Amino acid sequence: MPRRVTRRVTDRGPHGRDPGGTPDLAAALAVELKRAAREVGAPEGFQPELERSRDLQHGDFATNAALVLAGRLGQPPRQVADRIASVLDASAAGVVEVSVAGPGFINFRLGDAAYWRSLCQVLKADLSYGRSEAVSPLKVNVEFVSANPTGPLHVAHGRGAAIGDAVASLLEWAGHRVVREFYVNDAGRQIDLLAASLEARFRQLAGEEAEVPDGGYMGAYVEELAQRAAATVGAEELAEMDGQERMQRFGELSIGWLHEEQERDLEDLRVHMEVFRKESGLYERGEVKDALERLDSEDLTYAEGGATWLRTTSFGDDKDRVLVKSDGSFTYFLPDIAYHVDKRSRGFDLAIDVWGADHHGHVSRMRAALEALGLPPDFFEALIFQLVTVMRGGEEVRMSKRAGQFVTLRELFEETGVDVARYFFLMRRAEAPMSFDLELALDTSEANPVYKIQYAHARMCSVFERARVEAESIDASEADLAELARESERELAKSLLRFPEVVRNAAQARAPYQVCSYLEEVAGLVNAWYHEGNLDPSLRVIAEGPARAGRLALARAVQITLRNGLELLGVSAPRRMVREQETERTPVP
């Protein structure tokens, strides 16, 4: 896969603090570590790196600061590490244990007080928990789906829609201004093929012999469009037109209808596009012609075989690319270049395109073209996702009742529900092929990962109902959190306090699946903690005793974290859930 240039978009404030005020467990440690490093001779401006320990047996956080400073100070790393550890004020850092390991890594174990203090901040942050402010906020264009208006959206479009929407949300939560955009490919050969397909269907409905052209569009929806056009314009009026005029009318009508249908499907999937940018508009505004003239004027093109080529090999591509074919028509590459120049002209600092696997080879040529035009190398970024296979009972579901050639997105989410469809599209790495298991998707038990998370959230809501307290009224500062002495409670609190970090990392990696994995991990810890009360009633969350207030505060932190995480993914967080014994959903064929 071509190298992806990624602009850093998860800046944090000084001392590791989250500028938005979201609890950062390591903030006090970062401040004290920087002070200790300065005391042993670190230069002005030195910012030690803190990372979570991979092995929690070694502690909660670790730093390689001593290894970085050793050369500058002319001392062995272990000696520098020992000096830092000796001058670090553990109490100010919330640390109960400092140890030096390996060639000079310093490990830190935080005390319970640091966790309970941060837990109070979670409840105060509430709806903003997990959000942050970027030090250098960017204006980001996330373009996704961008399907040709030639048919219904299919399941691969659905995966791209869920991923694009979640990536946009992650960037928003990381403090950036984001615009969700759909590029409407309403010009070119595919539109002509749709019009010709409708012409054939119209003539067939009139009793004439006609064949759909090679590469044309099949499926019941094409006949539906032909019938709708006849009803809208009038069959007799259409019949009186010559073939070319009729096809032009078919194209105009069908593009509008199919685009409206695609927009409805996306809205029903909870994907709201702020901007629909039409390819035809690029031609109307002269932007495609301008792009070609600009490339010509800078000697970036040449003629060969009657075609016009772009010198993309001069900018890292494996071969030069055709812009204008020998018949004078444009390749789709040229309007794509004009479209990305248009994005830049609208003031975007970063353009992220979410593309299907069939666009993999387009990444290097687009990057080369934009570099040729002088755009910054970190302006354009492509996120490639692999296709989806819908499975039922171990067999691939191949055909749609309506589209004929593929399973439509609407058919899928009307059977599984929007929550399940969105979550399943997001829970795997975008770069990996996905098998959408309908049997698991329709399972309403906790074997279904999205229900596992939603049940955990609903359980916390039921706790507050049984305790007869308003969740929003719980104040952790009034609870004796030191009474939360069980290991399950400590581990749960530690996991909850990782949420802001998970969001930042997922935003940086453009990886919504990381949030899914995290929420499933939290749900597992929640359910284990909750069910401990089944074996011992004294351990129930609302059991009377000195730990009751602390447990309610922990339950509130769980509710906030799961709700916010699900909201970020575009999935609902029900307060009450009933297991379905049977379903009335219409099955995907």
Of 127, 156, 178, which one is at a domain's C-terminal end? 127
Query: Are residue 438 and residue 477 in the same domain, yes or no?
Result: no
Supply the pLDDT for residue 216: 87
Sign of the CA dihedral running 466, 469, 472, 478: negative
Is 155 inside any structural domain? yes
Spans in the chain with pLDDT lower than 70: 1-24, 399-404, 579-589
Q: How many domains does the chain have?
A: 3
Query: Are residue 258 and residue 142 in the same domain, yes or no?
Result: yes
CB neighbourhood size of 211 (10 A): 10
Is 342 inside any structural domain? no
Query: Are residue 223 and residue 273 in the same domain, yes or no?
Result: yes
Query: Are residue 397 and residue 257 in the same domain, yes or no?
Result: yes
Distance CA 135, CA 130 (A): 16
Supply the pLDDT for residue 511: 98
For tokens 């859930």, name the residue: 577
Query: pLDDT tens, 84-141?
Result: 999 999 888 889 999 999 999 999 999 888 888 889 999 999 999 999 999 899 999 9
Is 152 inside any structural domain? yes
Distance CA 350, CA 156 (A): 25
Supply the range of the domain harboring residue 67. 14-127
For tokens 């006090």, name the residue: 28
Query: Are residue 25 and residue 73 in the same domain, yes or no?
Result: yes
Q: Residue 12, Cα to own-chain centre: how many angstroms?
A: 20
Query: Are residue 519 and residue 463 in the same domain, yes or no?
Result: yes
Helix (H, G, I), strand (E, B) or coil at 443: coil
Sign of the CA dihedral running 288, 289, 290, 293: positive
Of 442, 459, 478, which one is at a domain's C-terminal end? 442
Query: Are residue 459 and residue 537 in the same domain, yes or no?
Result: yes
Task: For residue 36, give the CATH number of its domain.
Answer: 3.30.1360.70
Supply the pLDDT for residue 6: 35
Distance CA 517, CA 509 (A): 14
Supply the pLDDT for residue 11: 38
Query: Are residue 438 and residue 468 in the same domain, yes or no?
Result: no
| Cβ 26 vs Cβ 61: under 8 Å | yes
Is 482 inside any structural domain? yes
Q: Look at residues 101, 38, 105 and name the one whose alpha carbon lies nearest to residue 72.
A: 38
Task: For residue 394, give the CATH number of its domain.
Answer: 3.40.50.620
Is 317 inside any structural domain? no
Supply the pLDDT for residue 579: 61
Of 426, 442, 458, which one is at a domain's C-terminal end? 442
Task: For residue 520, give the CATH number of its domain.
Answer: 1.10.730.10
Distance CA 176, CA 184 (A): 25
Is 585 inside any structural domain? no
- Amino acid 543 reads A
Number of helices (H), then strands (E), belonging to the chain: the values are 22, 15
Beta strands at 139-143 and 95-101: parallel, antiparallel or unpaired? unpaired
Query: pLDDT tens, 527-575?
Result: 999 999 988 999 999 999 999 999 999 999 999 999 999 999 999 999 9
CA count, 13 A, side-chain hemisphere, 259: 18
Q: Look at residues 131, 118, 163, 92 and name the one whose alpha carbon lies nearest to residue 25.
A: 118
Is 133 inside any structural domain? no
Query: Are residue 438 and residue 453 in the same domain, yes or no?
Result: no
Supply the pLDDT for residue 57: 76
Query: Are residue 259 and residue 143 in the same domain, yes or no?
Result: yes
Query: Are residue 31 and residue 121 in the same domain, yes or no?
Result: yes
Is 489 inside any structural domain? yes
Supply the pLDDT for residue 583: 40
| Cβ 547 vs Cβ 555: under 8 Å | no
Query: Are residue 40 and residue 162 in the same domain, yes or no?
Result: no
CA count, 13 A, side-chain hemisphere, 261: 19
